[in-house]
Structure 1
Amino acid sequence: MVDIGIIGIILIVLNFLISNKGFSSRAFFDKYKFQVSSILVGREYVRFISSGFLHVGWQHLIFNMITLLLFSSSMENVIGSIPFLAIYFAGLAGGGLLALFIHRNHNDYSAVGASGAVCGVVFASIALFPGSDIGFFGIPFGIPTWLYGTAYILYSIYGIRSAKDNIGHEAHLGGALVGMITAIIMYPVVLQTNAFTIALITIPAILFIIFITVRPHSLLVDNSFFKSSHNITIDHKYNIERNIQRQEIDRILDKINERGMNSLTRQEKERLEEYSKHS
């Protein structure tokens, strides 16, 4: 039986409750998801945290929560609830910050998921418990943490560069790196006991971040779900979205005038309420 700590239980419950709310309410989902234009223009910084408790579907949610369950059970019981919570939210913030940095000029970029936080927990565990193996369902043997960590970082770097899928590799990489660094700050002794694994993971990640800082145009971000709009500024994008929103509100108000308030759907009522709060 998995001996999971109380903080791990609370985080999993919160993820299920908030994600389920996002599944049933598109307005709620849009209001709290990670979105570049809303953060940089609207200064809605709460999205850094709120987006980490939303998911695109049950499969996305369950996969993240199973991973969190497996790693939080050992970590929280060894290092304590408060350090574990600090690592979790450090990974969440680190994933969001790296995604924002990489996509700061990609106005339509948005993301959700606890992947950054979960990766922070996973890679903090790799740093804190040297010599351990990581097991996966269906595989009869464990994979050394140093090998898993190195392969994961290299795959994340490849995923960011190639954009051949729609996975938030930026959040994975940022969360993993910041989660590991947070664990090292808390327990610097691991630099002596696990220096080889830490170096294999952190050096490629840091070099890649330096590379994209110097040569941001090297990123290949276009795919079937996201097309970068290099000729549209964030301010222009914001104005376009505001015009679209006003047109939708005008349509809803016309419907109220013609048929009454009771004719509105739940989604239309949520849109009207959300607009009234921000107008």
Structure 2
Amino acid sequence: MYNLHIATIAIIAANVLVTLRGLNDASFFERYKFNIGAILGGQKERTLTSGFLHVDFAHLFFNMFTLYFFANVVISWFNPIKFLIIYLISLLAGSLLALYFHRNEPFYSAVGASGAVTGILFSAILLQPDMQLGLLFIPIPLPAYVLGIGYLLYSIYGMKNRLGNIGHTAHFGGAVGGYVTTLLFRPSLLVDQTMMVILLALPILALFVLQKLGKI
């Protein structure tokens, strides 16, 4: 499971190289980070480039470490090309959801691969829901879908309460991107994993209901 595929190595390399450039060149960082005002002003490439920038090495490491654990699950079920497609669609989905929710905040900015990585995580959960995941503060492994649903609910809470300097909206958008693209690539999951598909859809529906009600 932990032998990295060349596709995963390519993504990690791209993130490392772009992040290093951004950390050593403030003007490069500012030019390619996610920024509502700049994107609405025509610099739409920021919705993609921001996903390869990180604020520091800890931020970069956490995202790449998470990718390291789940990339091979997706690649083994599909193929490297579909894995890359899921990654990029999840990245863009995270940016687009952030753009939608923060469209009236011209100074809102964000960077990081979290949306794309979350998309890969949720794709892996859909494909292999019996995976057991452990966290440092939880002494026993939990089913992947429990942590996945909990993560989405926490993201909704974080969006509502603006918790920390974290792009909760991009995380959520990435999860939606990974979820939808995985189902498009493997529609048989709607039959084979019907309950899991429904369970993961509930927090997604909750987000948009809360948004329509003006709660977020």
TM-score, normalising length: structure 1: 0.74
Letter in 2 for 1:103: H
Instruction: Report how far residue 77 of structure 1 moved.
Output: 3.1
Q: In terms of mean alpha carbon deviation, does 81-90 or 128-137 score higher?
A: 128-137
Instruction: Report how far residue 215 of structure 1 moved.
Output: 4.0
Letter in 2 for 1:30: E
Determine helix, strand or coil for the equivalent of 2:103: coil
Determine helix, strand or coil for the equivalent of 1:142: strand
Query: Which residue of the partner structure matches residue 95 of structure 1?
Result: 94
Tell me how far apart the structure 2 counterparts of residues 78 and 33 of structure 1 sit (CA, whole Å): 32
C-alpha contact 1:130 1:193 (8 A) present in aligned 2 = no
Instruction: Report how far residue 100 of structure 1 moved.
Output: 0.3
* Alignment of 1:117 onto 2:132: no
C-alpha distance after superposition, 1:228-273 (max 9, x if no partner): xxxxxxxxxxxxxxxxxxxxxxxxxxxxxxxxxxxxxxxxxxxxxx
Instruction: Report how far residue 132 of structure 1 moved.
Output: 1.8
C-alpha contact 1:38 1:44 (8 A) present in aligned 2 = yes
C-alpha distance after superposition, 1:139-196 (max 9, x if no partner): 6642102211110110000000001211110000000011111001100111122222
C-alpha contact 1:119 1:175 (8 A) present in aligned 2 = yes
Tell me how far apart the structure 2 counterparts of residues 78 and 146 of structure 1 sit (CA, whole Å): 17
Tell me how far apart the structure 2 counterparts of residues 164 and 113 of structure 1 sit (CA, whole Å): 17
User: Equivalences for 1:140-179 in 2 at 5 Å?
Assistant: 141-179=140-178
Tell me how far apart the structure 1 counterparts of residues 154 and 34 of structure 2 sit (CA, whole Å): 23
Instruction: Report how far residue 210 of structure 1 moved.
Output: 3.7
Instruction: Report how far residue 138 of structure 1 moved.
Output: 7.6
Gaps of at least 5 residues in structure 1 are: 220-279
Letter in 1 for 2:31: K
Distance 1:145 1:13, change over 3 A: same
Instruction: Report how far residue 200 of structure 1 moved.
Output: 1.7
Determine helix, strand or coil for the equivalent of 1:134: strand
Gaps of at least 5 residues in structure 2 are: none
Query: Which residue of the partner structure matches residue 83 of structure 1?
Result: 82
Tell me how far apart the structure 1 counterparts of residues 172 and 158 of structure 2 sit (CA, whole Å): 10
C-alpha contact 2:77 2:127 (8 A) present in aligned 1 = no
Note the aligned Cα RMSD (angstroms). Answer: 1.6
Instruction: Report how far residue 109 of structure 1 moved.
Output: 0.2
C-alpha contact 1:4 1:74 (8 A) present in aligned 2 = no
Aligned length: 216
C-alpha contact 1:116 1:176 (8 A) present in aligned 2 = yes
Structure ID, larger Rg = 1
C-alpha distance after superposition, 1:84-131 (max 9, x if no partner): 011101110110000000000011100000000000000011111132
* Alignment of 1:56 onto 2:71: no
Query: Which residue of the partner structure matches residue 205 of structure 2?
Result: 206
C-alpha contact 2:71 2:120 (8 A) present in aligned 1 = yes
TM-score, normalising length: structure 2: 0.95
Letter in 2 for 1:95: G
Tell me how far apart the structure 1 counterparts of residues 166 and 137 of structure 2 sit (CA, whole Å): 23
User: Equivalences for 1:230-241 in 2 at 5 Å?
Assistant: none
Q: State the percentage of identical aligned residues.
A: 39
Instruction: Report how far residue 137 of structure 1 moved.
Output: 5.5
User: Equivalences for 1:61-72 in 2 at 5 Å?
Assistant: 61-72=60-71
Query: Which residue of the partner structure matches residue 26 of structure 2?
Result: 26
Tell me how far apart the structure 1 counterparts of residues 176 and 197 of structure 2 sit (CA, whole Å): 10
